[in-house]
Structure 1
Amino acid sequence: MFETIIEPRVSETDGAGHINNTTIPIWFEAGRNKIFEMFTPDFSFDNWRCIILHTTVDFVSQIYFGKNVAVKTWVEKIGNTSFILYEEIHQDGILCAKGNAVYVNFNLKTQQKEPIPDHIRQQLKKHMR
């Protein structure tokens, strides 16, 4: 599991006084940086490998400005060319949002999906839920 701490910003707070729902997918993506690094160590978009295919978000509890949140990211499943992540956001020890993201290992030059290399597969396995 990867854990990323995020400090909510005032600009992410909506008129109802909680963090806007459009912010949650952005925070989930921030929790994926270590996974992106496995596939593209230099973070070069010329060599980018992780292409998102699908994402879901379930809003469980409100999140507020003024208290940090923890984004927790696990690997749920590893396929031949794709993988599924399970993600949660917690504030004050309370589960506030959860979701999944499906990514494919994609070669931008050839415009084709490719098998996940064994060395990356082994790294992903270390973070299985």
Structure 2
Amino acid sequence: MIRKVHEIKLQLRYRDIDSLGHVNNAVFLSYFEIGRIGLFRLNSDDYRVDSINFVIAHMEIDFLKTLHLFDDVILRTRIVKVGRTSFTFDHIILSEQGKDVYCHGTAVAVAMKDGSKVPVPQFIKDLLAD
């Protein structure tokens, strides 16, 4: 059965915190990477980094609420759009209770092989969220 949404409780680290006492904006990109890898691993017993070749071509993030070290948060990741050679991830970080949204972002990935764009593989198309 294909699971089209990956959720994980994030373990925030001291190194994620900046001098203002909140999670540094750049760290959110690393959190989103955790979600992308998790989505693929969730749906493949033999997931390997070299079996999924794509590059991130574009990212957008809206920071909606300050995130602190001891906040309990969930990262939710899904694929929301698939084109011929690209596909779009949707990422959201929210409180465990789902009441507060800390940030929302998208990442556009381009399928690659030997340095050139290629059609998006079927297994990625199958992950498109309803």
Whether the TM-score (by the shorter chain) exceeds 0.5 is yes
State how many pairs are aligned. 122
Flag as ranges the 4+ runs of structure 1 deviating above 6 A. none
**1:70 to partner: Cα distance:** 1.0
Asked if residue 15 in structure 1 is aligned to residue 15 in structure 2, the reply is no
Structure with the higher helix share, 1 or 2: 1
Task: Give unmatched runs, 5+ long, in structure 1.
Answer: none
Structural RMSD (CA): 2.1
Distance in 2 between the 1:96 and 1:84 partners?
Answer: 20
TM-score by length of 1: 0.82
| Aligned residues with identical type, % of pairs | 28
Structure 2, unaligned runs of 5 or more: none
Contact 2:87 2:109 in 1 (8 A): yes
For residue 89 of structure 2, what is the aligned residue in structure 1? 85
Given the alignment, which residue of 60, 70, 77 partners 1:73?
A: 77
Secondary structure (helix, strand or coil) at the match of 1:15 reads coil
Query: Secondary structure of the equivalent of 1:21?
Result: coil
Secondary structure of the structure 2 residue equivalent to 1:62: coil
Which runs of structure 2 are paired with 1:1-129 in the superposition (5 Å)? 1-37=5-41, 41-44=47-50, 48-92=52-96, 93=98, 94-107=100-113, 109=114, 111-122=115-126, 124-125=127-128, 128=129
Q: Secondary structure at the match of 1:102?
A: strand
User: How far apart are 1:35 and its partner, in Å?
Assistant: 4.3
The aligned amino acid for 1:85 is: F
